[in-house]
Structure 1
Amino acid sequence: MTTAVSDQDRLIPTQSGSLHVKEWTPDASGSLPPILLFHDSLGCVDLWRSFPARLAAATARRVVAYDRLGFGRSDPHPGTLPLDFVAAEARDIVPVLLGHLGIGEFVACGHSVGGGMAVETAARFPSRCRALVTIAAQAFVEDRTLAGIREAKEGFRDPAQFARLARYHGGKARWAVDAWTESWLSPAFAGWTLDTALAEVRCPVLALHGDRDEYGSAEHPTRIAAGRGTVRLLADTGHVPHRECEDTVVEAILSFLSEP
């Protein structure tokens, strides 16, 4: 029998603007820690598509996703991204979310740069983050990552491609593209890694990665999971596993969270 899931949208105020948050709650949910989702560099709640509902139904856990400032239905970002924007999300935004949503213990799960934010969150809340899942996350600045970003940047010169992005971000779309490309391509960002945060992670880790990911080699999940958990390389899969092979990703997370 499929578990029924209800969803709810809300706005949560922060010092820099309001965040659009969506929750999926299975009818059979109990006291298991909820899953907090962190989207990718051009993502938003709506671009998770069916994944959060499927994840909530499969795991019998509340799933929470939100649009970062500057994305989706959240308020515009007040300026340019600081070089520490990955760590800053865990430092400045996550405590506000957890407080407003009444979340104690939780599971952090992030896609791409959102995976980095999930790592930073697990490091900052070692007693509350019960498990960490990364999906196609980057752990350092790799030539393959930069090449993929340069190619994407050129692609957004196409008005039709940019218009598709604007359907999700509205007037914030140009800011979102520039925030992604200019941050990662900046020479000042070249030395960024997750190494310091990873050293502080205390919970079990599952690092999922497509074997055809155009934004990062298998070195990323290997570094994320080293001594902390498990790497799972997904066959014939690119940078968006939760859309390309949703069933496999949901099953992998369910199995991981079901381990004693």
Structure 2
Amino acid sequence: MLNISMPEAPPVAIDELEHRILIEEGRLFAKIWMADAPEAGQLAPILLFHDSLGCVELWRSFPKHLAATTRRRVIAYDRLGFGRSDPYPGRLGSDFIAWEAQHVVPQLCEQLGITDFVACGHSVGGGMAVETAAHLPHRCRALMTIAAQAFVEDRTLEGIRIAQRSFEDPANLAKLANYHGGKAEWAVSAWIDTWLAPEFSHWNLDVALAAIRCPVLAIHGEVDEYGTNEHPKRIAAGRGTAHILPNTGHVPHRERERLLIKVIHQFLNRIDTLSQ
């Protein structure tokens, strides 16, 4: 476990820029937070991958505060079918996690002029960050996962079934529509139907994890309702550190934002020190 005792960084102004990016499959919405500090243009930016029902807006204040603390650019984007990006063209395939890394991320990086980066993903976005680090090993300088799943676990499926029942209430779908508009119903179906499909039951990140060549930090909440601590252990095994956040559930960037950023900051500082 990392020692998170560290001095507070002085305040810094943050510039926020929005982008519309055209890739082969449609238009993506992306947002960049950049600290007004010399190192912000020199350090590899952090590329954020959102969860199964997430989007840029649902990261809340996390990207801004992460950029201010780490002095790195922080880049988040809405996947196709989510937030302010175009609808997904059809039904989500069972290989959607690896597909994102192989087909979307290279186009995103080209459009935004990103060379090296730090991959950081929440929940299923953590799986996409893993696949990205494996697919682009010469560009990914570090990998960070937050509440990620590394395999299909009974606890994950039970959490999804509970969520499925909650969406029988139209009010819950309406809340989601505040972020995804008319794509909300598709987003819910894509998450639930994909994970509960029999053909998805054998999915895991083992092949991608074996290809990781960068430092790894796997963060997980002690009381995560969508997965046990076996997930961060598998992600970090032999390649990095698993850090368990006490009294934290599945959404650390909302539940324990300050602590999460401290853990990330120390990890990245250690990498920077070793690379000097």
- TM-score, normalized by length of structure 2? 0.94
1:216 matched to 2:227? The reply is: yes
Structure 2 matches for 1:84-233, cutoff 5 A? 84-233=95-244
Q: Matches of 2:166 and 2:12 in 1, distance apart?
A: 40
Q: Matches of 1:85 and 1:98 in 2, distance apart?
A: 18
Q: Give the aligned partner of residue 27 of structure 2.
A: 18
1:30 matched to 2:5? The reply is: no
Q: Matches of 2:156 and 2:211 in 1, distance apart?
A: 25
1:7 matched to 2:16? The reply is: yes
SS across alignment from 1:100: helix
**CA deviation profile, 1:16-40 (whole Å, cap 9, x unmatched):** 1100000001110230000000000
SS across alignment from 1:153: helix
Q: Matches of 1:13 and 1:100 in 2, distance apart?
A: 8
Structure 2 matches for 1:60-99, cutoff 5 A? 60-99=71-110
Q: Matches of 1:202 and 1:244 in 2, distance apart?
A: 31
- Shift in Å, 1:15: 1.4
SS across alignment from 1:243: helix
Show structure 1 runs of 4+ deviating over 6 A. Answer: none
2:126 is matched by which residue type in structure 1?
G
Number of matched pairs: 260
1:246 matched to 2:265? The reply is: no
**CA deviation profile, 1:111-165 (whole Å, cap 9, x unmatched):** 0000000000000111110000000000000000000001101101111111111
Structure 2: gaps spanning 5 or more residues: 1-9
Q: Matches of 1:97 and 1:3 in 2, distance apart?
A: 27
SS across alignment from 2:41: coil
1:47 is matched by which residue type in structure 2?
L
Structure 1: gaps spanning 5 or more residues: none
Q: Percent identity?
A: 64
Q: Matches of 1:59 and 1:17 in 2, distance apart?
A: 32
SS across alignment from 1:133: strand
Q: Matches of 2:23 and 2:159 in 1, distance apart?
A: 33
1:52 matched to 2:63? The reply is: yes
Q: Matches of 1:115 and 1:151 in 2, distance apart?
A: 22
Aligned-CA RMSD value = 0.5
1:48 is matched by which residue type in structure 2?
W
Q: Matches of 1:188 and 1:19 in 2, distance apart?
A: 29
1:172 is matched by which residue type in structure 2?
K
SS across alignment from 1:77: coil
Q: Matches of 1:124 and 1:30 in 2, distance apart?
A: 24
SS across alignment from 1:104: coil
